[in-house]
Amino acid sequence: MAVIVFYEATPVDTFQLTNGLQGTDHYWEYVSGVITPENINPNAEVISVFVDSVVTQEIMKRMPKLKLIATRSSGVNHIDLDYAKQRNITVVNVPNFGENTVAEHTFALLLMLARKLPDTINSVKDGSYSPAQHIGIDLIGKTIGIIGMGKIGGFMASISKGFQMDVLAYDISPKPDLAEKLGFKYTDMVSLLERSDIVSLHIPLSPESYHLINPKTIQHMKRGVILLNTARGELVDNRALVRALASGHIAGAGLDTIEGEKFLKTSSIIGNLVEKAAAPESYLHTAEAMALLRMKNVVITPHSAYNTIKAISRINTCTTKNIIDFWYGNTPNKVNIPHSSGKLVIVRHGQSEWNALGKWTGTTDVSITSTGIQESIDIGKKIMNIPFDFAYISQQIRTKETLDAIKKGANQPDLNYEETASINERDYGIYTGMRKNDIKKIIGDKEYDLLRRSWDGPVEGGESLKDVYERAVPFYLRIILPRLLHGQNILVVAHGNSIRSLIKYIENISDADIGNLEMIQGCALSYEVNKDGRMKHKEVILMDTTEDNEP
C-alpha cells in the first residue's frame, strides 16, 4: 500500500482519480492548492502534481519516503529532475492527452480573431457596438501555414480543410503520406511565411526554434497575417510581436503561451521585484505581457488549451495507471532525466599589453601578450575534456586571441564562435588608458575603490557595472541559456566586468556584495544551471598560478 497525495486537485480531478484508484489498497488524499513546504505529507510515497506546483529539492527533502512523482502534464519543467535523480525518485508524465483538444483551442483563437469577437462582445456590453468597427474576415479560401506537422498539426490541417482553407506545412521531417491523406502541401519556411494568411505554431522549443518569429521572419509575412501560438512561448520574440501588432503588419495574435508568461501573475511580478539579482529581461517580459494583454487584436489564454472534460479524463486515467503500474514495476511513461544542462565555461581573456602596464583597458582594442597566449593555451589544456558545441566572445580582439589559444590547448580547432557586443568590457570613459596608480593619486583610494567596484556608480563618459549587467544578462538568457538547456556545452571568453555581471545573475549575488567579487585571469568557471539560468553546480578550474591583472 502506498500513501499518495494529489495536489491542485479540482472536483473533476477528485472524482476521476478516485474512480481510477478504486479497487486498489492504496491510501490517497487531495489538496486543492499547489504543493508547498507547509502542506506536504512527510509520509507520502507518491505525489501527483500539475504544472503550477513547483517540486523543489527542499520539498522533496521533507518527504523521505517519496518514491514517485506523477505529474499530470507532459512537461516536467516544474520538477527538480536533478535532485529526483539523485534521490532515485521516479518521475512519470502524461505524454499524450489532447492533440485534437489543443488543435480545437487553436482554431477557437483563430475564429475569435477573424470575427473580432472579444472587442465585439465588450462593445455590446458597454453599448458602443458599431458594425463598421467590427468587420471580420471569412476563412474559406484563406491559406493557413502550419509549422510543425505532428499530431496537433495534423488535427489543425484536418479542421482547416473542413473550413475549405488551403493548407501549407513546414516540418523538418515531412510525411508525404500524411500530406496526401489530409490534402496539404509541404513547403520551405520562407515560402510558408510569404504565402500564408494565418501562421500557426506547433513545434517544440529548441536552440534552433527559439524566437522563430522575430523581426526578420516577420518581414517575410504578409501584411495583415494572423499568428497563432499554442506550443511554446519562447518561439515568439514578444517585442517583435508587439511592434508588428501595433503597426498592423500582424493583424492579430492568438496566444495560449507567451515568453515570460509567469509575469501575467501579480505574485510573480512582486517576487521578481524583491529578487537579489533579477534578470533585466524579466522587467521587459512584464512590460511585454501587460502590453499584449491590453491590445485589442490579441487574445491570450492562460496555457489552457488542454482544458476539456475529455482531455482531463485522459490525463487522470493515465496518471492513475502510471501510479498503479509503478507499484508493479512497470513505468512506460517514465521521464528520462537528462543531465541538468550542458556545461557553461567562462574564461577571462589572457593578459593583455595594457594589463601588463597596469592600465585600464575598457573597450580599447589591445592584443594579449605572449604570457596571455601561453596562459590561455594552458587553460585550454585544463578544459580539453569538455567537448564544446559553440563559443561566444566579445568584440575586443583580446577575447578572439584568447579563444584561438584555448582552442589550440584544448585540441578543438574547429570550434565555431560568435562575436557579440553584449559581453564587451565595461567602458571606463575618461579613465580609459590610465594607469591604476595614477587614478588613485588623482581621485584618492576611497573614490578609486568606489569607481572600480560599485554597482551603479557613474563613470564620466563610460559605464557602471549595472550598465554592463543590463546588456550581458539578457544575452545570456536569450541566446546562451536555451543552448545549455538542450545539453550543449558553451564556452564564453569575456572580460572582468562582463563576467562579473554574468556571475551576479548566475549565482544570485546582491548589489551590495558584487563589489567583493573578482574574476581573475588564468582560470575557468564551469557551471551547470537550472531552467532559469541559475547555478546548480560550480567548479573552479585553476592553473598552477593565477594573477589579477586588470580591474
The catalytic residues are: 232, 261, 303
**What secondary structure letter does DSSP report for 429?**
G
Residue with cell 576611497: 446
Per-residue burial over 136-160, b = 16 or more CB atoms within 10 Å of its CB, e = otherwise: ebebeebbbbbbbbbebbbbbbbbb
Distance between first and last Cα of the chain = 62
User: Cβ(230)–Cβ(305) under 8 Å?
Assistant: yes
Rounded alpha-carbon distances, angstroms, from residue 484 to 94, 265, 341, 343, 490: 25, 27, 5, 7, 7
- For CA atoms 99, 103, 106, 112, the dihedral sign is negative
What is the rounded CA–CA span in Å between residue 67 and residue 29? 17
Q: Are strands 90-92 and 68-71 parallel, antiparallel or unpaired?
A: parallel
Rounded alpha-carbon distances, angstroms, from residue 7 to 53, 79, 500: 8, 14, 40
All residues at 6 or more sequence positions from 38 whose CB lies less than 8 Å from its CB, including other chains: none
Rounded alpha-carbon distances, angstroms, from residue 188 to 144, 171, 192, 198, 257: 14, 8, 6, 16, 25
Residue type, 10: T
User: Cβ(292)–Cβ(298) under 8 Å?
Assistant: yes
User: Cβ(114)–Cβ(108) under 8 Å?
Assistant: no
**What secondary structure letter does DSSP report for 233?**
G
Q: 173 by DSSP, 3-state: which?
A: coil
Q: What angle (nearest 5°) sits at the alpha carbon of residue 165, between those of residues 164 and 171?
A: 135
The DSSP H or E segment spanning 18 is helix 11-21
